[in-house]
Structure formats: C-alpha cells, structure tokens
Chain A
C-alpha cells in the first residue's frame, strides 16, 4: 500500500517493542460484537493509473463550461483564473498545513490571511474582516445570528430578492433559536427592495435588515435608503454580495451604511467546482469585532521584535468559549481565502476595475442583443451589473433554454423554480469568459426557438 510505509517486518518489530503479540491485543477494549467480521463492502483497490482512468471517465460524464457556452450565474460565476493563482495555491507548504495554531511555523498562511482580511476591508469599506466562513449562504446566517447577539432583538427582516438558497440557509440556521424571520417582497417593477416596504414589515424592534446587492435578479439595490430605514428603528444593516467583482465598481457596503457585510468570494479565483468549496466572507465595524464568528489574524511581534502574525481574539471561539462561543465554526475555507488573495494581487487595483467594466459592458451588450430579438425583454427596470433577469415572450423559458442547449448554449436559469410568480423569467449572467461570438449565437438561438 503506497501511502503506508510499513512492511510486515516493521509492524512485527513495533508490536514487539509495544510488548504485544498482535494487533488484536491492542484492540481488547473494542467489544467483539461491534467488530467488523467481513471485509468492508467496497470496490477493490485500484492502482494509481487505474484510478486516474476511472476518474477521468467519471469526469467525462459531465459537460462543463469547457464544452458549452454558459450564461449561468446565480451565486456561482465562471471567471478566468490567472495562472499564478493555481501555482501558488498548489504549493504544498500551504495546502497540506492545518489551521495555523503554531504561529512560528505558520507565518505563510497567517500573513496571507492578514492580507486577505485587509483586501476584504478595502473592497467592502468596512473596518475588520474575518479569516473566512464556509460560503455566502452560511455567512449570511452567521451575520443574522451576530446581529441578534448585538441588538438583543429577535425580528430578522430578509429581502426576498436575496439568493433563495441563502434565505433557506438562514432559516435552517435559525431553527433552534428564538428569532422570527419576516420577508420583505421585492418590487415587481423595479426588481429591488423598497424602503417603504421594509418599513411596513420591520416592526418596532428589528434586529436587522438583510439585503443583497446586486440582488438575485442582478438588480443593484439602493442600499443607502434601506440603511436609513433600518437604522431609524435601531436595527443593523446587513449587506450581502454574491458577485464580489461588483465591488470593484459599485459603491461599497461600508459607504452605504452597512454594519455587517457578508458574501461569497468564489469569483476571486475559485473554480466553479459544482458548488464548492467556495469562500464566505464577513466584514464589520470595529466595535462589533468581539461579536464576530470565525478566525481572526492579528499583527504582533516575536521575541526578536520582528513583525509577525497570529490567530487572535480567540476567546470568542468554540475551542475556548464552548457552548457560549460566537459560532461553532472551526475549519473554514483557508485555502480559498489564499486563492482570493493571489487572485486580487494578480488583477490589482486597476485590473479588477477594468475586469468589472468588461463584465458590465458584455452584460449590457448581450442584454441589448436579446431585447432586439423581440422575444426577450428586461424583467425589471433597475440597473444591473453582470447579471440580469429577462422575461421570455412567445415561448416558455424551459423551451427556450432547451433549444439553446441543443446549440451548445446554457442560456441561464429559469426562475420559476425559486419564484413561482416569475414563471416566464430567466436569469442570465455574463462574464469575461463569454465571447461576442457566443453572445451572437445566443441571440440567433433565441430567434430559432420560436
């Protein structure tokens, strides 16, 4: 067995040194009736070569963004990943290490997380960011729980234009608590969350209002006006971002009154990977740092006075505060955070803004091309970034998407699945990976669907 060095002679020598005649003697605490008598019913072992060929075959049973022109987004975005990202993240000093409990031999991961925390703060314009959470959805749930802890209040107001799976995750996380969730319905014309609608449902003592921007429909929310409403009731404003590239050109949550900014960092260099691992991020204001979930890296010094980094403010966490911890999270998404750091360093201050403009330009281009078919029209009137909702006329969205699929195009997501009232609508995402030619093919395909 190539992953286990021991020969039979090695094992015999070790057993002799232990002072037993066989492994069985070491297992005397395991009652016979719970022992496995037959070999496990699992497939026979494969050689490395055999394994590669089996898995290559399984992977070929999938079709991907490599085979199809895909316009799917909805919380998972197909972006170009610069080569240096893979090379750095593939260094095994990083990826084969554990959570950096011993800072003297973990400065690589610690400093990169400190850089990551800084980058998230810069992008969101918040004071402090943690070292990552599982994904965007669970980050929203953690933010809601944190807001409840800070305000001591129970009512959680969620915009219905937040990613449906994020909202479902919040509901699951709150099953055991005493929170009350109310949803504020999006404006059917604009596709956004309106301040007066929030006012009607938030009650006198809301813990928080949670709004995603750009929201699930791709629409950019008027965050500042929403912040004003929730703050006037003494609640916290939680802003969710599922396409973080938008932060390169949109006004950051911290400048729109956000108290907690959370979201999904997958777009920053993490491949689609069928939905995970992704990167939950969370940033907040300094005064709330002790209420944050998750790991934090801080700057300090060593005995020689050199600048170093270590995990800090750990008494918030499960391994110390146990049942009173701010969260149960332990293992997070460290490597995905490192991925984001290297990605953001590669793109840089200008590159990221340029990339965001390209995404916007392409999305606007496709939107106009699709409108010109006269078969699709914008689902909502609000401005969008790289994702938008279209209403399909003359055919059903399912038929349209299936015709496009035959032509090698994954045209987007039919919204009926999440919003029964949007049975004629599809959600379309455009990134730098979609060529003009693909978009022309899309538009032509639409015409052929009727």
Chain B
C-alpha cells in the first residue's frame, strides 16, 4: 500500500495535495479504496459550491458499503473530477492520480497544518486495524 510523502492525510482517509497558491486537490487514500472494495458510485459537490472542514462533501459507495467523504479543508470547489463520477472504478486503480475528486480554493492555508503526514497516517491506520 502506498502513501506518497508529498501528501497530507486525514483520519477519515482523505488525502490533500497542495497545487499552487491556495488551490488543493482532495481524494481518498489507497487504504480507503482497499477497505471499500470495488467502488461503484461517487457523489461529489457542484463546481462553485463550498466545502467545510470536517463536514461531509460527498459519498463513496461500494456494492455493500457507503461512506461519507469528509472535507479536509474549507473553501470553494473550483473543479470536480467528472470522469471519476462516470467511472468510479478508477479509484481502485489510481487513488492518488486519476481518481482525484475535487480541487478546492482554500480560505486559510493554516487549515493544512493539523493534517497528518504520511508517516503519521500510516501509524494511525496500523493502530486502527
């Protein structure tokens, strides 16, 4: 299982990549996709909508489970991965690449400070097991 060093993580199994200025990309981790199994459906917010840190922003479903997606940051949704909505199964193949979910313009970069590093996240999921 992979947990790229350049990403930040949440205990709800989302990852965050800082793109440029105040834009971040959000997705779910390798561990999350593996626990879910075959992902079959994803619900994401509309472009232009807002997301709030620690609040649900979407839903990811496998055949026999459903999980809320919790936003790691607050801000405005600048872009939504429409291709992922069309073909949710790509999450199982490339959770950190093609299966990114939303790009958010964040209100305050400080919000990123309390997110987990790769090592911290790996330690967290070891304990959770």
Q: Do A and B come from one complex?
A: yes
Q: Which residues of A contact B (CB under 8 A)?
A: 314-315, 320-321
Residues of B within 8 A of A320 (CB): 64-66
11 example contacts (A-B, Cβ-Cβ < 8 A) are as follows: A314-B63, A314-B64, A315-B41, A315-B61, A315-B64, A315-B65, A315-B66, A320-B64, A320-B65, A320-B66, A321-B66
Task: Give Cα A185–Cα B95 distance, bound, in whole angstroms.
Answer: 57
Interface centre among A314, A315, A320, A321 (most CB of B within 10 A): A315
Question: What CA separation (Å) do A385 and B77 show in the bound complex?
Answer: 55
Q: Which residues of B contact A321 (CB under 8 A)?
A: 66
Residues on A with C-beta less than 8 A from B64 are 314-315, 320
Q: Which residues of B contact A314 (CB under 8 A)?
A: 63-64
A124 to B48, CA, bound (A): 39
Contact with A along B59-73 (1 / 0, CB 8 A): 001011110000000
The answer for the CA separation of A320 and B61 in the assembled complex, in Å, is: 10
Question: Which residue of chain A has its CB nearest to the CB of B62?
Answer: A315
Which residues in B have their C-beta under 8 angstroms from that of A315? 41, 61, 64-66
Neighbouring A residues of B41 by C-beta, 8 Å: 315
Shortest CB-to-CB span from B59 to chain A, Å, is 8
A320 to B37 alpha-carbon distance, docked (Å): 15
Q: How far is the CB of A256 from chain B (nearest CB, A)?
A: 31
Q: How big is the B interface, by class? A: under 10
Contacts of B65 in A (CB 8 A): 315, 320
> How far apart are the CA atoms of A315 and B41 in the complex, in Å?
10
- Nearest-neighbour CB distance to chain B for A163, whole angstroms, equals 35
The binding surface of chain B is classed by DSSP as strand
Report the nearest A residue to B67, measured CB to CB. A315
Q: How far, in whole Å, are A314 and B61 apart by their CA atoms in the complex?
A: 10
**What's the minimum C-beta distance from B127 to chain A, rounded to whole angstroms?**
25
In the complex, A314 Cα to B66 Cα: how many Å? 10
A317 to chain B, nearest CB (A): 10
* Chain B: minimal CB distance from A394 (Å): 64
5 nearest CB pairs, A to B: A315-B66, A315-B61, A320-B66, A321-B66, A320-B64
- 9 more CB-based (< 8 A) A-B contacts, given A315-B65, A320-B64: A314-B63, A314-B64, A315-B41, A315-B61, A315-B64, A315-B66, A320-B65, A320-B66, A321-B66
- CB-defined contacts of B63 to chain A, threshold 8 Å: 314
A124 to chain B, nearest CB (A): 26
Min distance, Cβ B36 to any Cβ of chain A, angstroms? 11
Collect the chain A residues with CB atoms within 8 Å of residue B61's CB.
315
Interface residues of B in 17-40 (CB under 8 A from A): none
A414 and B5 CA atoms in complex are apart in Å by 78
Give A64 to B90 CA distance when docked, in angstroms: 61
| Inter-chain contacts of B66 with A (CB < 8 A) | 315, 320-321
CB distance from A296 to the nearest CB of B (A): 13
- Look across to chain A and name the residue whose beta carbon is closest to the beta carbon of B63: A314
Give the nearest-CB partner of A311 in chain B.
B63
Residue of B nearest to A319 (CB): B64
| Bound-state Cα–Cα, A321 to B67, Å | 9
Closest to A321 in B: B66
CA distance A321 to B59 in the complex (A): 12
Cα distance A68–B64 in the bound complex, in angstroms = 52
Q: Measured between C-beta atoms, what is the minimum distance from A314 to chain B in Å? A: 7
Can you name the residue of chain A whose Cβ is closest to the Cβ of B43? Answer: A290
User: Once the chains are docked, how many angstroms separate the CA of A321 from the CA of B64?
Assistant: 10
Docked CA distance A320–B62 (Å): 10
User: Considering the chains assembled together, what is the distance between the CA atoms of A34 and B4 in angstroms?
Assistant: 58
CB distance from A290 to the nearest CB of B (A): 8
Distance (Å) between the CB of A132 and the closest chain B CB?
Answer: 21
How far, in whole Å, are A184 and B99 apart by their CA atoms in the complex?
Answer: 51
Q: Which residue of B lies closest to A320 (CB)?
A: B66
In the bound complex, CA of A242 to CA of B64 (Å): 34
Quote the shortest CB–CB distance from A309 to chain B (angstroms): 14
Shortest CB–CB separation between residue B17 and chain A, in angstroms? 28
Name the distance in Å between A316's Cβ and chain B's nearest Cβ: 9
Compute how far the CA of A320 lies from the CA of B66 in the bound complex, rounded to whole angstroms. Answer: 7
Chain B residue at minimal CB-CB distance from A322: B66
**Cα-based distance from A320 to B41 in the complex (angstroms):** 14
How near does chain B come to A324, taking the closest CB pair, in angstroms?
9
Q: How far is the CA of A301 from the CA of B93 in the complex (A)?
A: 22
Closest to B60 in A: A315
- In Å, the complex CA distance between A378 and B41 comes to 55
B35 vs chain A, min Cβ distance (A): 15
Alpha-carbon gap, A315 to B63, bound state (A): 7
Q: Which residue of A lies closest to B61 (CB)?
A: A315
Bound-complex Cα distance A236 to B65 (A): 30
Chain B nearest CB from A295 CB (Å) reads 14
Among B41, B64, B66, max chain A CB count under 10 A is at B66
A314–B40 Cα distance when bound, in Å, is: 11
B70 smallest CB distance to A (angstroms): 15
A66 CB, min distance to chain B CBs, angstroms: 48
Q: How long is the Cα–Cα vector from A397 to B60 in the complex, in angstroms?
A: 60
Shortest beta-carbon distance from A223 to chain B in Å: 33
Closest to A324 in B: B66
What is the CA–CA distance of A375 and B64 in the complex, to the nearest angstrom? 63
